[in-house]
Chain A
Amino acid sequence: MKIVLQNLTKIFPSRNKKVKDEVVAVSDFTFTIPDGKLIGLLGPSGCGKSTTLYMISGLQKPSGGKIFFGDDDVTELSAENRGVGLVFQNYALYPHMTVKQNILFPLQNLKGADKLPKEEMIERAYTAAKLVQIDNLMDRKPSELSGGQQQRVAIARALVKMPKVLLLDEPLSNLDARLRLQTREEIRRIQKETGITTIFVTHDQEEAMSISDLIVVMKLGVVQQIGAPQEVYDDPTNLFVAKFLGTPPINVFEGKVEGEKLYIGDAAVLDVPGVSDQPVTVGIRPEGFNLDPNGAFVCKLQNVEVMGRDVSIVSTNEASLNPVVRSIINADNKVEASETVTFSLKPHKVFLFSKEDESRIYF
């Protein structure tokens, strides 16, 4: 089922009645989430991504705008009538119930025509448990499970009622690094198998990029960019998005455009046809550098980190807005020990941003 967010806005009134300092958590969010896709809501903390999720679930009421499930306007519908599955950041498993009781709980809530016979409830609970591979833990209490197992129970509990929409709030943040990798694959697999439209919230760009069909980058309640992960990475609309995506992060420099040439420091490093003369902020992806003795971009070499497949060159440049410039090149290239290192740049990995509003300047 597709979900339509129409000018969705959430304003939290100020706590102090005298001072007017309302917080705009989400501002004018319009987006159609296609059916059966996995969507990552991405942004730093306080960007409104969780608020958006809670508004879709019905736990929070929007201050403005509308939410549609399919063609139905559900804006006024409260959570219990929306039939969504929600997995909380710390899972919210009932500590006094076994895994089985936890998973059965949503089914036992059904009333009237929707009520299921007992055998079917149990069968459904086991189906959901099998899907997340915890059917051997059904009689344990949550406190006897590892973080990853609790996570799966939470997902099973959300899936058991076969929701049209599955919402996950920071699903991986309480797991250690290894489990995180494993679990995110798992989420992808489960989503593919069930085909349920799934929205998850995360502050970890790698997580979002690796499994989402579409990512939504948010900042201070405002959507910055929506697109397929690679698309957003390759073509960020502004400096914030460029900086937020990618590990290692993008290198940022002070620069200027003069006569359709981009200068970083005094060196003209790239031709930028069609860009008028102006000071700019330059973003260069780490993979956007070529080792080139004849290149125009000279940096002071600091050290070289060998990572097997790749080599990471750490250098410094006076125009850099980061402490170091990090470039990643193929390990076949030999890096000579010397004072300086010289690069040429790959044009499609270089982004220019306006000094005024940080928006992208295309060339």
Chain B
Amino acid sequence: MSDKLNVTLHEKDLKKVSAAQKVTKAASKTLTYAFLFLIAIIVLFPFYWMIISSLKSLDEYKLSVPTLFPREILWHNYVEAFDAANLGTLFKNTVIVGVVSTLLSLVITVLSAFAFARLEFKGKNALFAALLGTMMIPGELFTITNYQTVNEFGWMDTYTVLIVPFLVSIFYIYLLRQNFLQIPNELYLAAKVDGTSDIKYLWKVMIPLALPTLISITILKMMGAWNSYMWPNLVTKSAEMELITNGLRNAYTDASGDTNFPVQMAAVAIVSAPLFLVFLFLRKYIMKGVSRSGIKG
């Protein structure tokens, strides 16, 4: 074989090569970190701006050269934000809708996933395939009719309208069914032999084993309630029934169209805080759930 490559290392200066390789390595490492930190700053900046703006006075906020830290910390903005937009009611509504719809949704999801994973009945696979097919359709297509339907039902401006139409998520059923299928069927047969009822088996075996998925579903569903905007905006007409996001967008603008930005930012901070806290404690479940779903809200 030819020896074009067999230029011995002698010919190159070894010291030079190893020095150059060190420099390249150090430089690329530095560049990588610099880039990642720059991105981190860009990602974090809006949060930082939200917090410092929320603590400024309106006059300070409007300075043509902005201050990077409030001269005087005005906690009062938070009180004002809370009162001005009736955040208390909005919080209450959102929590009620979030908790109730999550609980009901979990029950429905568990029962359906169990039926699809463990029970045998005619048309099971066809039904499941049809359900998965509907996931392709954009939600807006359903909204038009659902809007009429809830109107017909006289549900406008009630908690029901905020909860019921979205209780079934094909995606969650799919996710949980996959999880249930991984649990060996022998466990179910053994339970049947011992005379355990389906419900007891579900409760004692399936649910504990599928707990991580259930937690992911719970978190995603709660986040969904917290972030939902379009549907509540359509079906709530009175301020008493609004959810947090709806109340948030239109408050803090006075009659002249001027916005009290610090107070608005305080409200945004208040609304964002619960999600952040949940994320802090349940990071693992959220990231796992999201990486499997890719569905926001």
Give min CB distance, B169 to chain A, whole Å: 35
Q: Are A72 and B9 in contact, CB atoms less than 8 angstroms apart?
A: yes
Give min CB distance, B140 to chain A, whole Å: 38
Q: Are A194 and B1 in contact, CB atoms less than 8 angstroms apart?
A: yes
User: 8 Å CB contacts to A: which residues of B3-18?
Assistant: 3-10, 14, 17-18
**Complex: A77 Cα to B25 Cα, angstroms:** 12
For the complex, is B2 an interface residue (Cβ under 8 Å from A)? yes
User: 8 Å CB contacts to A: which residues of B116-149?
Assistant: none
- Please, what's the 1-or-0 string for A91-127, where 1 marks a CB less than 8 Å from any CB in chain B? 0000000000000000000100010100000001001
Partner of A72, one of B4, B5, B7, B10: B10
In the bound complex, residues from chain B placing their C-beta under 8 Å from that of A110 are 5
In the bound complex, residues from chain B placing their C-beta under 8 Å from that of A71 are 10
Partner of A69, one of B9, B17, B25: B9
**Complex: A70 Cα to B17 Cα, angstroms:** 17
User: 8 Å CB contacts to A: which residues of B43-64?
Assistant: none
For the complex, is A164 an interface residue (Cβ under 8 Å from B)? yes
The chain B residue sitting closest to A196, CB to CB, is B1
For the complex, is A185 an interface residue (Cβ under 8 Å from B)? no
Helix, strand, loop or mixed for chain A's interface? loop
Chain A, interface residues (CB within 8 Å), range: 20 to 34
The chain A residue sitting closest to B15, CB to CB, is A76
- Please, what's the 1-or-0 string for A17-41, where 1 marks a CB less than 8 Å from any CB in chain B? 0000000000000000000000000
**Complex: A69 Cα to B14 Cα, angstroms:** 11
Q: Are A83 and B1 in contact, CB atoms less than 8 angstroms apart?
A: no
**Complex: A72 Cα to B2 Cα, angstroms:** 22
Q: Are A77 and B21 in contact, CB atoms less than 8 angstroms apart?
A: yes
Q: Are B14 and A72 in contact, CB atoms less than 8 angstroms apart?
A: yes
Partner of B17, one of A1, A81, A114, A164: A81
In the bound complex, residues from chain A placing their C-beta under 8 Å from that of B17 are 77, 81
In the bound complex, residues from chain B placing their C-beta under 8 Å from that of A161 are 5
The chain B residue sitting closest to A71, CB to CB, is B10
**Complex: A301 Cα to B6 Cα, angstroms:** 61
In the bound complex, residues from chain A placing their C-beta under 8 Å from that of B4 are 114, 116, 162
Helix, strand, loop or mixed for chain B's interface? loop
In the bound complex, residues from chain A placing their C-beta under 8 Å from that of B21 are 77-78, 80-81
Q: Are A74 and B9 in contact, CB atoms less than 8 angstroms apart?
A: yes
The chain B residue sitting closest to A116, CB to CB, is B4
For the complex, is A73 an interface residue (Cβ under 8 Å from B)? yes
Q: Are B5 and A83 in contact, CB atoms less than 8 angstroms apart?
A: yes
In the bound complex, residues from chain B placing their C-beta under 8 Å from that of A1 are 8
Give min CB distance, A259 to chain B, whole Å: 61
Chain B, interface residues (CB within 8 Å), range: 10 to 19
Q: Are A162 and B14 in contact, CB atoms less than 8 angstroms apart?
A: no
Q: Are B5 and A162 in contact, CB atoms less than 8 angstroms apart?
A: yes
User: 8 Å CB contacts to B: which residues of A50-77?
Assistant: 69-74, 76-77
Interface centre among A73, A81, A161, A163 (most CB of B within 10 A): A81
In the bound complex, residues from chain A placing their C-beta under 8 Å from that of B18 are 76-78, 81
Q: Given known contacts A72-B14, A74-B14, is B8 in contact with A162 (CB within 8 Å)?
A: no
Q: Are B14 and A73 in contact, CB atoms less than 8 angstroms apart?
A: yes
Partner of B8, one of A70, A127, A194: A70
In the bound complex, residues from chain B placing their C-beta under 8 Å from that of A164 are 6, 8
Give min CB distance, A54 to chain B, whole Å: 17
The chain B residue sitting closest to A193, CB to CB, is B1
The chain B residue sitting closest to A70, CB to CB, is B8
In the bound complex, residues from chain A placing their C-beta under 8 Å from that of B6 are 162, 164
Give min CB distance, A17 to chain B, whole Å: 22
In the bound complex, residues from chain B placing their C-beta under 8 Å from that of A162 are 1-6
In the bound complex, residues from chain A placing their C-beta under 8 Å from that of B25 are 78
**Complex: A81 Cα to B10 Cα, angstroms:** 12
The chain B residue sitting closest to A161, CB to CB, is B5
Give min CB distance, B109 to chain A, whole Å: 37
- Please, what's the 1-or-0 string for B4-39, where 1 marks a CB less than 8 Å from any CB in chain A? 111111100010011001000100000000000000
**Complex: A78 Cα to B9 Cα, angstroms:** 13
Give min CB distance, B125 to chain A, whole Å: 30
**Complex: A270 Cα to B6 Cα, angstroms:** 56
In the bound complex, residues from chain A placing their C-beta under 8 Å from that of B14 are 72-74, 77
In the bound complex, residues from chain A placing their C-beta under 8 Å from that of B3 are 162
Give min CB distance, A275 to chain B, whole Å: 51
**Complex: A161 Cα to B3 Cα, angstroms:** 9
Give min CB distance, B18 to chain A, whole Å: 4
**Complex: A116 Cα to B18 Cα, angstroms:** 24
The chain A residue sitting closest to B10, CB to CB, is A72
**Complex: A73 Cα to B21 Cα, angstroms:** 15
The chain B residue sitting closest to A110, CB to CB, is B5
The chain B residue sitting closest to A82, CB to CB, is B9
Give min CB distance, B14 to chain A, whole Å: 6
- Please, what's the 1-or-0 string for B73-90, where 1 marks a CB less than 8 Å from any CB in chain A? 000000000000000000
Give min CB distance, A158 to chain B, whole Å: 13
In the bound complex, residues from chain B placing their C-beta under 8 Å from that of A116 are 4
Q: Are A127 and B10 in contact, CB atoms less than 8 angstroms apart?
A: no
Give min CB distance, B35 to chain A, whole Å: 22
User: 8 Å CB contacts to B: which residues of A159-175?
Assistant: 161-164
**Complex: A72 Cα to B12 Cα, angstroms:** 11
**Complex: A77 Cα to B1 Cα, angstroms:** 26
**Complex: A166 Cα to B9 Cα, angstroms:** 16
**Complex: A84 Cα to B18 Cα, angstroms:** 16
**Complex: A114 Cα to B5 Cα, angstroms:** 7
In the bound complex, residues from chain B placing their C-beta under 8 Å from that of A114 are 4-5, 7
In the bound complex, residues from chain A placing their C-beta under 8 Å from that of B5 are 83, 110, 114, 161-163
Given A1-B8, A69-B9, A70-B8, 8 further pairs, Cβ under 8 A? A72-B9, A72-B14, A73-B14, A77-B17, A116-B4, A162-B2, A162-B6, A194-B1
- Supply 13 A–B pairs (Cβ within 8 Å), ascending by A: A72-B14, A73-B14, A74-B14, A76-B18, A77-B14, A81-B17, A83-B9, A110-B5, A114-B4, A116-B4, A127-B1, A162-B4, A162-B5
Please list the 4 inter-chain residue pairs (A to B) with the smallest Cβ-Cβ separation, ordered nearest first.
A76-B18, A72-B9, A162-B5, A78-B21
